[in-house]
Every structure is written in C-alpha cells, then in structure tokens.
A and B are shown apart, each in its own frame.
Chain A
Amino acid sequence: MSLAERLRPTTPTHRWVGVGAAALGWFALYEINLPLWDWVVYDLAGLSPSSRLGSGVHFFFYDSIKIALLLVGIIFLVTVLRSFMSVERTRALLGGKREGVGNVMAAGLGVITPFCSCSAVPAFIGFVAAGVPLGVTLSFLIASPLVNEVAIGLLFGMFGIGPTLLYVGAGLVIAIVAGFVLGRLKLERWVEPFVFETRLGGQVIDPSVGLTWDDRIQMGVEEVGLILRKIWPYLLVGIALGAAIHGWAPEDFFTQYAGAGNPFAVLIAVLVGIPLYSNAAGIMPLVQALHDKGLPMGTLLAFMMAVVALSLPELILLRRVLKPPLIVTFVAVTGAGIVAVGYLFNAVIPV
C-alpha cells in the first residue's frame, strides 16, 4: 500500500481536517525556517554571517528547506486544481477556433492543462488530426512547458508578485506570438504526413471526469512525491552552485561579463540555456544567487525560460512528428521571442 493510499480518509470531515492540519503544519515549518538556521549556523556553529563560509552554509540549508516547502505546497495545489482540466477538454475548446483567438486560448489553456511532456506527440497528433490549426497547436505546446507552475511558485516565493506576473505575461505573449507567426508561415508541409492521415477512433476518455475530492487530493499527494523524487538531484546541485556563488564568487565577476553593460548578455544567456536540460526547480536557486550578485532580471528570466521551454529531449520527441526545418523554425521563433522579452525587461526594470 502506498503512502497516499494509507492516508486516504474515511469520511469527508476526516478529509478536510487532514488537509487543514497539513496546511497549518506547512505554514509553521515555513515560518520557523529562517530563525532555525540563523540559530544553528550563526549561534550554534558560531559562523559569522559576514564570512563566506557562514553565508554560503546558511544559504544552502535555509534555501533547500524553503524551496522544498514551496514546491510541496505549490505542486499539491496546482495538481488538485488542474485535475479539473484535461487535454481532451482543451482540444474540445480549441476545435473550430480561428488563428488569433485560437492562439490566445491555446496559450492560456497550455498553462492550466495538466500535461506531461511525454504526451507531447500524441497530443500534437490528436490536435492536428482533429482540425486544430498547426499554429494554434504550437501555441499550446510552447506555453505548456514555458509557463511552469513550479517556476511561478518559486519566483513568487523568492522575488515577489512583480517578477512573477512579468514572467507569466511574457510567457503567454511569447506562446501566442510564436504560434501565430509559425501558423502564418504555412509550415504544414514540414509535418510528417502520417499526422494528417491518422484516423481518430475509439471513444475519448476524459481523465478529469468522475473524480471525487478524495481522488483529487490523493493525486496531489502522489504528484508531490513524484516530482520531488524526480527533481531533487537538480535541486541540490542548483542550490549548492547557488551557495557557492553566494559565498565565494567575487562581487563583480558576473556583472562584469553578463551585467547590464554587456549588450549581448541576453542573447548569450538564451543560447546557453536552449540545449541545457534542467527544470525550474534546479535553475531557480542559481537565478536567485546571480540576481543577488547584480545580474539584471531580464537576462535571468530569459535564461530560465530558454532552459525550461526548449530542451534537446523534447525536440528529439517532436522529431517524430515534425521535420527538421520545422523544428529549427520552432526553436528560432520561440528563442527570438525569449530574447526580445529579456531585452524588454532589462530596459524597463532598473537593476
């Protein structure tokens, strides 16, 4: 029996009392995290807050716990909310929509639809074969990884509401515009022909239908476990690197090369970020450490978007349905959008 199954409540009262107790426990842990590590690192271990070792060690422990807590809370909430949506429902909503309106809807739905990148290929075929325009389908496929719930939660926890809204807004605009442009380019000839020949048959099972609250809560608990098991190595490496930068990197090292003074910084950040395969959880501690060292927010957001939105494994999967010229165009258009957003942010946000 899995943990989630043993936690399964017997009555509705049990269920909501359980959820309430878990929420209270979460807030308590979140509140004592900072005083706890202040006490352990600075008082108990006697390290100085101004020393490199002290601030590095403090950053590592405090941040690991804080990020883990934020992830648990956010993944749980998002999974429960998303259990009301499904790819099937999204396709039904997008069917018959023209380009333009369709792109806007697809980008929005891409954010809220539960979607695993391993389903990218069947979803692509399912959308296109059902008559959803290619550009609209691509808007969905760009928005889904780009505006990422883990990134939203972490940005909010570390930088507040401003950068979070910028990130979500920018991600939506990139997905809408890139999908629209790709649709206008009439690239259907670079889609593998079998996609258009696929006959959709059988009966569609909508996974969001027929779930009880207990099912949805259980899915939330399981998803938390699943994602944490998957990302903890990324997270630890990210935090360790972040701590190293935090404690040891010379104050002006990064600003000198990638600061506001370098006009190519955003472009380089995006080019470096595209082939890198990590996830928001591994990147965010680095982003925070680099931000503390004075790198501009636009450059950092562009870097993060390039890492999470475009990755080699995903492109290799898409190769099953898209011919190489379309993949290259897809990467170029999306990458250009991310670069533009990076420069825009750098221009409007003071460092």
Chain B
Amino acid sequence: MIIKILGSGCNNCVNLERVTREAVADLGLDATFEKVKDFPTILGYGVMSTPGLVVDEKVVLSGRVPTAAKVRELLESLTS
C-alpha cells in the first residue's frame, strides 16, 4: 500500500501523517509513506484544500485532519 500525504508542509499535513501512521500501525498494514509538496502534482489529484490523503493513487480525504479512528475506518474499507 502506498500512502501519499498531500500538502505544503504546514501543521495540518504533519498531523495528518501522524494519525495515518497510527492507523496503519493499529491495523498492522504494510504501507510506505510519501510526502507530496509540489503544487501542480497536488492539483493533479484534484485536491484544492490541503491536507490530502491519497491511498494507492486514489484520493480518500481532503481539507481536514481526521481522527486516527476515522483513518482506520477508511483504510479498513479499502483493504477489505
């Protein structure tokens, strides 16, 4: 699983990465993390409000920092 965190590096993106790593650890998933800071690439995913969360090239969340529980739900629905 490839997880990309979209955003220019402000607090929100750092927080999103933290809760996502928590969720991944909870679920025992094998995932690699990538940060995407380049604006044309971020817009290429259709994301206008950062931070954005992309799992295997699919945007699953943008515009807010969710709780770890919410990310866990999202990832579970993707892996099942």
Q: Which A residues have a C-beta under 8 Å from some C-beta of B?
A: 2, 4-5, 86-88, 91, 114-116, 118-119, 121-123, 125-127, 129, 194, 197-205, 207, 218-219, 317, 320-321
A-B contact pairs, 7 of them (CB 8 A): A2-B67, A91-B48, A116-B10, A119-B48, A119-B49, A123-B48, A207-B64
Bound: A118/B62 CA distance, A: 13
Bound: A197/B41 CA distance, A: 12
Assess whether A118 is in contact with B40, with CB atoms less than 8 Å apart.
no
- Contact string against A for B residues 51-80, beta-carbon threshold 8 Å, 1 for contact and 0 otherwise: 010000011111110010100000000000
For the complex formed, measure the closest distance between the CB of A122 and the CB atoms of chain B, giving whole angstroms. 5
A126-B64 contact given A87-B49, A88-B48, A203-B59, CB 8 Å threshold: no
Which of under 10, 10 to 19, 20 to 34, or 35 or more describes the interface residues of B? 20 to 34
Residues of chain A contacted by B10 (CB below 8 angstroms): 116, 118
Interface-central residue, A5, A122, A194, A321, by most chain B CB under 10 Å: A122
Interface-central residue, A123, A125, A205, by most chain B CB under 10 Å: A205
For the complex formed, measure the closest distance between the CB of A318 and the CB atoms of chain B, giving whole angstroms. 12
User: Is B20 close to A, CB under 8 A?
Assistant: no
Bound: A114/B47 CA distance, A: 15
Picked from B11, B39, B58, B59, the residue with its CB within 8 Å of the CB of A122 is B39
Assess whether A200 is in contact with B46, with CB atoms less than 8 Å apart.
yes
For the complex formed, measure the closest distance between the CB of A179 and the CB atoms of chain B, giving whole angstroms. 19
Assess whether A116 is in contact with B12, with CB atoms less than 8 Å apart.
yes
Bound: A201/B64 CA distance, A: 20
Which residue of the partner chain B has the closest CB to A125? B43
Residues of chain B contacted by A126 (CB below 8 angstroms): 43, 48
Contacts A115-B49, A202-B44 known; 16 new A-B pairs at CB < 8 A = A5-B67, A5-B69, A86-B63, A116-B12, A118-B10, A119-B49, A122-B49, A125-B40, A194-B40, A199-B44, A200-B46, A202-B47, A202-B59, A207-B49, A207-B62, A320-B39
For the complex formed, measure the closest distance between the CB of A86 and the CB atoms of chain B, giving whole angstroms. 6
Residues of chain B contacted by A204 (CB below 8 angstroms): 46, 48
For the complex formed, measure the closest distance between the CB of B65 and the CB atoms of chain A, giving whole angstroms. 8
Assess whether B50 is in contact with A203, with CB atoms less than 8 Å apart.
no
A118-B12 contact given A86-B49, A205-B47, CB 8 Å threshold: yes
Bound: A271/B10 CA distance, A: 28
Assess whether B42 is in contact with A122, with CB atoms less than 8 Å apart.
yes
Assess whether B63 is in contact with A122, with CB atoms less than 8 Å apart.
no
